C-alpha cells in the first residue's frame, strides 16, 4: 500500500528506470539548445582544421584526377575488354549503399516510432546526401564523354530522339536523382525548426542573417507544427519504399542483363540488405568520431550504439544468407556457366577478394551476439570500418569476377586499377568527409527539437494517467 | 509624428506542458478564437486543445503523387510509342511492366515536392519577419518556453481581462506586446 502511494507521489520519476533513458544527464530544454547550438558558435579546434585540411586535400586530388580522366579519356583507367566496369561502378554502388542508412534511420525508424533514432538521424541524413553526391559522380565520369551526360534526361531536342525507357540504366538515373532530391527535402524539412533555434541562439550578425534566411521565419507556432508533423510523416512514408526501390533499381543494372553471376532474382533484396548493412556501418564510424570530438556522449549513448550493432548483426546475416543462396542456386540451376562463375568467384584469381568479403561481412558481425562487445566503442569502431571494407569488396567481386572470364577464354583477363582510379576513389572519400565536417560544424548535428520532444518532461502527463502506469 | 504603439497581443509563458494544455482549453472555453501557442517542439494533444482541424497537407501530397504518376505514364508512353518508336530487340514500344520503376520514382518525387510546398504554403512560409520578434519571451519559444499569445484582433480581447485570465491560468511574465 505504501509503495503504491509513493509511486503516485513520485509520478514520472518512479517508472523512469524501467527503460534506459535516451538522453543522459537529465538535461533541461535549454541545456539541449546550449549543447547543440553552441557547436555552431564556438571557433573550431586545431583538430578540426587539421582533419579538414587532410580531407580537403584528398578531395582536391580526386577532383584533379577526375579532370585528368575527362581531359584524356577513360583509357587512363585499367578497364579494357572484357572488364568494362571496375572501380568506377564498384564505387558507385558502394556509395549508394552507404547512402541508404540515412533515410532508413529517418524514415523507417520514424514510422516504427523508434525514438532512439533522434540522436543519430540528422547526421545519418546528411551522410546520405553526401554519399549519394559521391555515388553520382561515378556514372557521370564513366560514360567517358561527360559533356553529353545530359542526354540521359528525356527532353525535347533537335535530334528528335528520346531516351530508352526499357533500359535499366535510365531507371537508375530516375531512381538516384529522385533519391537525392527527396533526401535533401527530407533533411531540410527536419532542419527548419532547428535552424530557427540556432538563428535565435547565435550572436554574430552574419551567421544570424544566414540562419534567418534558411529557417524561413519559423517561429514554432502550433498551427505550423501541425502541418509540419504531418508533412514530415508523409515524407517518411514515401521515403521508406523509395529506399527499397533505389537499391533494387541499382541491382537491376546487373540482374536485368543475361550475364552469369549477375542474372539472378535474389539481387534486389540482397542489394537492399547490403546497403542497409554498409550504411549503418558508416553511420557508426561517423557518429563514434563525432561523439568523441564534440562530446556528445549524453545524446549518442551506448544504447544507440548497441541498437545499431544489432542492426549490423541482422543485416550481416541476411547478406551471408544471400551469399549462400547464390551458390546454391548456381549449383541447382544446372547451368554450367553459372556454376563456373561462382566457383571461379570463390577459388579463381579473385578468390582473395571473395574471402575478404566473407570475413568482413559474415564473420565480423558475429561479434555482436555479445552485449559487452556491442557496447564496446573501440570494437564497434573497428568492426564498422571492416564492414565497409567488406561491402566494397562485395561490389567489386560481383562486378569484376563476373566479367573477367567471359564466354571466350581467349579474352580472359585480370583487371587491376591504375593510380587514377585509386585516386578518384580516395578523392570521393575526401569529398564525403569534407562535406561531413562542414556539416558537423555549421548545421545542428543532432535534431534539437526532436530530442527535446523525447525528454521525460516534454509531453503532457495528463496528471491522472501518470499514477495508473 | 511618432506613431502611437498599437497593442498586438498579450503573451504569457509556461514551462509545464500540462499547465499549458489546461490554459489553452480554458481560453478556448472562455470564447477566445484568435490565439496561438509557440513551442520549441510539437506537443501531443495541443491541436485538440486548441480545436484545430486536421492539416490539409495530405490532400496536397496525394494530388502531387497522382500528377507524378500520370506524368510518368504519359512521358514513357508518348516518347516511346508515339513520338519516337524504336524497335529494340523486338520489345514492345510501351508496356506497363517496364514502366514501373519510373512510374514509382516520379510519383515519389512529385509527392515530396507537393508535400514540402504544401507545408510551406499552408504555414505561409517563408516569412522573414514577425510582428513579435522584438519580444524576448517570444524568441525563447524556439528554445525552452511555451508562449501562449492572445491576439488583439480577438473580439474578446481586453487589456485588463485577458491579462487577468492568463495570470489566473498560471502564465508567467504576462505582458502586452505592441507594434
- ipTM of predicted assembly, 2 dp: 0.94
Report if residue B2 sits inside a domain. no
Report if residue B148 sits inside a domain. yes
CA distances (Å), origin A252, targets A88, A181, A249, A267: 17, 21, 5, 8
CA distance B1 to chain A (A): 31
pLDDT digits (tens, 9 = 90+) for A139-150: 999 998 999 999
Secondary structure element (H or E) that encloses residue B150, with its range: strand B146-151
C-alpha atoms less than 13 angstroms from C-alpha of B12 in its C-beta half-sphere:
21
What is residue A119's DSSP assignment? G
Secondary structure element (H or E) that encloses residue B36, with its range: strand B35-38
Judge: B42–A228 Cβ closer than 8 Å, yes or no. yes
Q: According to the model, what pLDDT value does residue B2 have?
A: 63
Distance (Å, whole) CA A437 – CA A414: 38
Q: Say yes or no: B13 and B68 in one domain.
A: no
Distance (Å, whole) CA B172 – CA B168: 10
Q: Which has more pLDDT, B128 or A47?
A: B128
Distance (Å, whole) CA A357 – CA A347: 13
Select the residue from A35, A129, A192, A230 to test the B interface by mutation, using most B Cβ atoms within 10 A. Answer: A230
**Contact yes or no for B178/B9 (Cβ under 8 A):** no
pLDDT digits (tens, 9 = 90+) for A364-403: 999 999 999 999 999 999 999 999 999 999 999 999 999 9
CA distance B55 to chain A (A): 6
Q: According to the model, what pLDDT value does residue A12 have?
A: 46
Per-residue burial over A204-243, b if 16 or more Cβ lie within 10 Å, else e, is eeebeebbbebbbbbbbbbbbbbbbbbbbbbbbbbbbebb
User: Is A5 within 8 Å of chain B by CB?
Assistant: no
Report if residue A6 sits inside a domain. no
Q: Say yes or no: B105 and B118 in one domain.
A: yes
Before B126, cis peptide (omega within 30)? yes
Distance (Å, whole) CA B38 – CA A221: 4
Of B38, B58, B119, the CB nearest to A219: B38
Judge: A220–B115 Cβ closer than 8 Å, yes or no. no
Q: According to the model, what pLDDT value does residue A108 have?
A: 83
Number of structural domains found in chain B:
2
pLDDT digits (tens, 9 = 90+) for A50-79: 989 999 999 999 999 999 999 999 999 999
Report if residue A324 sits inside a domain. yes
Judge: A220–B141 Cβ closer than 8 Å, yes or no. yes
Q: What is the CATH number of the domain that holds B168?
A: 3.30.70
CA distance A466 to chain B (A): 12
Q: According to the model, what pLDDT value does residue A298 have?
A: 85
pLDDT band at residue A45 under the 50/70/90 scheme: confident
Report if residue B155 sits inside a domain. yes
Chain B residue at shortest CA distance from A153: B75
Q: Say yes or no: B119 and B92 in one domain.
A: yes
Chain A residue at shortest CA distance from B92: A166
Q: Say yes or no: B48 and B61 in one domain.
A: no
Q: According to the model, what pLDDT value does residue A459 have?
A: 82
Residues 292-321 of A with CB under 8 A from B: none
Give percent above pLDDT 70 in chain A.
94
- Domain termination residue (choose one: B123, B144, B167): B123
Contacts of B137 in chain A (CB under 8 A): none
Cα angle vertex A168, ends A164, A169, to 5°?
Answer: 75
**Contact yes or no for A79/A411 (Cβ under 8 A):** no
Distance (Å, whole) CA A206 – CA A164: 48
Q: According to the model, what pLDDT value does residue A105 have?
A: 80
The CB-based long-range contact list for A253-259 (8 Å cut-off, 24+ gap) reads: A253/A168, A253/A169, A253/A172, A254/A398, A254/A399, A256/A168, A259/A402, A259/A403
Judge: B112–A235 Cβ closer than 8 Å, yes or no. yes
**Contact yes or no for A366/A375 (Cβ under 8 A):** no
The stretch A447-467 carries a mean pLDDT of 74
Secondary structure element (H or E) that encloses residue B162, with its range: helix B159-168
Q: According to the model, what pLDDT value does residue A35 have?
A: 86
Residue B70 has pLDDT above 70, yes or no: yes
Report if residue A93 sits inside a domain. yes
Q: Say yes or no: B81 and B168 in one domain.
A: no
Report if residue B137 sits inside a domain. yes
Tabulate helix, strand, coil % of chain B (nearest 5): 50, 15, 35
CA A424, A425, A426, A428 dihedral sign is positive
Residue B162's nearest CA partner among B50, B38, B33 is B33
Report if residue A50 sits inside a domain. yes
Give percent above pLDDT 90 in chain A.
69
CB atoms within 10 A of CB A287: 24
Distance (Å, whole) CA A422 – CA A433: 17
Distance (Å, whole) CA A333 – CA A336: 8
pLDDT band at residue A449 under the 50/70/90 scheme: very high
Per-residue burial over A269-283, b if 16 or more Cβ lie within 10 Å, else e, is bbbbbbbbbbbbbbb
* R_g of chain A computed on alpha carbons: 24
**Contact yes or no for A85/A456 (Cβ under 8 A):** no
pLDDT digits (tens, 9 = 90+) for A258-310: 899 999 999 999 999 999 899 999 999 988 988 888 788 888 889 889 999 99
Of A178, A217, A463, the CB nearest to B126: A217
Select the residue from B17, B37, B40 to test the A interface by mutation, using most A Cβ atoms within 10 A. Answer: B40
CB atoms within 10 A of CB A320: 17
Q: What is the CATH number of the domain that holds A169?
A: 1.20.1630.10
CA distances (Å), origin A66, targets A188, A425, B108, B146: 29, 10, 32, 52
Q: Say yes or no: B118 and B78 in one domain.
A: yes
Q: Say yes or no: B167 and B80 in one domain.
A: no
- Domain termination residue (choose one: B123, B142, B168): B123
Contacts of A461 in chain B (CB under 8 A): 18
Contacts of A213 in chain B (CB under 8 A): 128
Q: Say yes or no: B102 and B67 in one domain.
A: yes
Q: Which residues contact A395 (CB under 8 A, 6 or more apart)?
A: A89, A90, A93, A94, A97
Number of structural domains found in chain A:
1
Which grid coordinates are listed for A314?
A: 541482422
Q: According to the model, what pLDDT value does residue A463 have?
A: 52
Angle between helix A29-41 and helix A168-201 axes, rounded to 10 deg: 110
Q: Say yes or no: B27 and B61 in one domain.
A: no
Can you give the residue range of the structural domain that contains B107? 57-123
Can you give the residue range of the structural domain that contains A397? 11-468
Q: Which residues contact A431 (CB under 8 A, 6 or more apart)?
A: A59, A62, A63, A130, A133, A134
Q: Say yes or no: B48 and B135 in one domain.
A: yes
**Contact yes or no for B172/B13 (Cβ under 8 A):** yes
User: Is A200 within 8 Å of chain B by CB?
Assistant: yes
Q: Say yes or no: B81 and B110 in one domain.
A: yes
Contacts of B9 in chain A (CB under 8 A): none
CA distance B158 to chain A (A): 22
Select the residue from A36, A166, A228, A246 to test the B interface by mutation, using most B Cβ atoms within 10 A. Answer: A166
Q: Say yes or no: B70 and B115 in one domain.
A: yes
* Measured torsion, CA atoms of residues B25, B27, B29, B30, in degrees rounded to the nearest 10: 170
CA distance B41 to chain A (A): 5
CB atoms within 10 A of CB A328: 11
Report if residue A3 sits inside a domain. no
Report if residue A2 sits inside a domain. no
CB atoms within 10 A of CB B3: 6
User: Is A41 within 8 Å of chain B by CB?
Assistant: no
Of the listed ranges A107-116, A210-219, A336-345, A449-458, the one predicted with least confidence: A107-116
Amino acid at each position: 500500500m505504501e509503495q503504491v502511494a509513493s509511486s503516485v507521489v513520485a509520478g514520472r520519476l518512479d517508472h523512469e528506470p524501467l527503460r534506459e533513458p535516451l538522453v543522459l544527464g537529465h538535461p533541461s530544454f535549454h541545456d539541449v539548445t546550449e549543447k547543440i547550438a553552441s557547436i555552431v558558435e564556438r571557433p573550431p579546434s586545431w583538430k578540426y582544421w587539421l582533419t579538414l585540411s587532410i580531407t580537403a586535400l584528398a578531395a582536391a586530388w580526386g577532383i584533379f584526377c577526375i579532370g585528368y580522366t575527362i581531359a584524356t579519356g577513360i583509357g587512363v583507367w585499367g578497364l579494357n575488354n572484357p572488364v568494362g566496369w571496375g572501380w568506377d561502378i564498384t564505387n558507385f554502388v558502394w556509395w549508394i549503399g552507404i547512402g541508404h542508412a540515412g533515410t532508413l534511420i529517418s524514415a523507417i525508424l520514424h514510422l516504427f516510432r523508434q525514438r532512439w533514432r533522434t540522436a543519430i538521424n540528422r547526421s545519418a541524413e546528411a551522410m546520405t546526401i553526401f554519399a549519394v553526391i559521391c555515388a553520382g559522380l561515378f556514372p557521370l565520369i564513366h560514360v567517358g564523354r561527360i559533356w553529353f551526360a545530359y542526354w540521359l534526361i528525356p527532353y525535347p531536342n533537335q535530334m528528335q530522339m528520346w531516351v530508352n525507357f526499357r533500359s535499366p540504366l535510365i531507371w537508375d538515373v530516375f531512381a538516384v536523382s529522385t533519391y537525392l532530391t527527396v533526401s535533401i527535402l527530407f533533411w531540410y524539412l527536419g532542419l527548419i525548426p532547428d535552424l530557427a533555434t540556432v538563428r535565435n541562439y547565435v550572436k554574430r550578425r552574419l551567421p544570424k542573417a544566414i540562419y534567418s534566411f534558411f529557417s524561413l521565419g519559423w517561429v514554432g507556432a502550433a498551427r505550423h507544427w501541425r502541418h509540419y508533423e504531418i508533412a514530415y510523416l508523409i515524407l517518411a512514408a514515401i521515403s521508406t519504399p523509395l529506399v527499397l526501390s533505389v537499391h533494387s533499381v541499382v541491382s537491376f543494372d546487373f540482374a536485368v542483363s543475361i550475364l552469369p553471376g549477375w542474372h539472378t532474382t535474389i539481387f534486389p533484396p540482397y542489394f537492399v540488405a547490403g546497403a542497409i548493412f554498409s550504411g549503418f556501418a558508416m553511420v557508426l564510424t561517423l557518429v563514434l568520431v563525432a561523439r568523441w570530438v564534440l562530446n556528445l556522449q549524453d545524446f549518442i549513448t551506448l544504447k544507440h550504439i548497441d541498437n545499431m550493432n544489432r542492426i549490423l548483426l541482422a543485416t550481416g546475416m541476411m547478406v551471408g544468407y544471400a551469399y549462400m543462396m547464390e551458390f546454391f542456386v548456381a549449383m541447382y540451376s544446372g547451368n554450367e556457366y553459372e556454376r563456373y562463375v561462382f566457383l571461379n568467384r570463390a577459388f579463381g584469381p579473385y578468390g582473395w577478394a571473395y574471402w575478404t568479403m566473407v570475413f568482413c561481412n559474415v564473420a565480423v558481425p558475429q561479434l555482436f551476439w555479445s552485449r559487452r562487445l556491442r557496447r564496446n566503442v573501440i570494437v564497434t569502431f573497428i568492426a564498422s570500418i571492416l564492414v565497409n571494407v567488406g561491402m566494397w569488396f562485395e561490389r567489386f567481386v560481383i562486378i569484376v569476377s563476373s566479367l573477367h572470364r567471359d564466354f571466350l577464354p581467349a579474352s580472359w583477363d585480370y583487371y587491376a586499377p591504375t593510380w587514377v582510379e585509386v585516386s578518384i576513389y580516395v578523392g570521393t572519400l575526401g569529398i564525403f568527409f569534407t562535406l561531413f565536417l562542414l556539416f558537423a560544424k555549421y548545421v545542428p548535428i543532432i535534431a534539437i527539437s526532436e530530442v527535446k520532444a523525447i525528454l521525460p518532461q516534454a509531453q503532457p502527463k495528463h496528471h491522472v494517467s501518470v499514477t495508473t502506469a | 509624428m511618432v506613431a502611437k504603439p498599437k497593442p498586438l497581443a498579450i503573451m504569457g509563458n509556461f514551462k509545464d506542458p500540462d499547465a499549458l494544455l489546461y490554459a489553452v482549453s480554458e481560453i478556448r472555453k472562455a470564447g477566445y478564437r484568435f490565439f496561438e501557442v509557440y513551442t520549441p517542439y510539437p506537443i501531443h494533444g495541443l491541436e485538440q486543445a486548441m480545436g484545430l482541424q486536421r492539416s490539409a497537407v495530405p490532400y496536397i501530397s496525394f494530388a502531387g503523387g497522382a500528377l507524378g504518376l500520370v506524368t510518368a505514364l504519359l512521358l514513357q508512353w508518348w516518347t516511346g510509342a508515339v513520338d519516337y518508336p524504336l524497335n529494340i530487340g523486338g520489345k514492345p514500344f510501351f508496356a506497363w511492366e517496364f514502366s514501373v520503376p519510373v512510374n514509382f520514382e516520379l510519383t515519389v518525387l512529385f509527392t515530396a515536392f507537393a508535400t514540402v510546398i504544401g507545408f510551406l504554403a499552408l504555414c505561409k512560409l517563408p516569412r522573414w519577419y514577425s510582428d513579435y520578434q522584438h519580444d524576448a519571451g517570444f524568441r525563447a519559444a524556439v528554445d525552452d518556453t511555451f508562449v501562449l499569445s492572445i491576439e488583439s484582433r480577438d473580439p474578446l480581447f481586453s487589456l485588463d481581462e485577458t491579462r487577468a485570465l492568463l495570470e489566473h491560468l498560471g502564465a508567467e511574465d504576462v505582458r502586452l506586446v505592441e507594434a
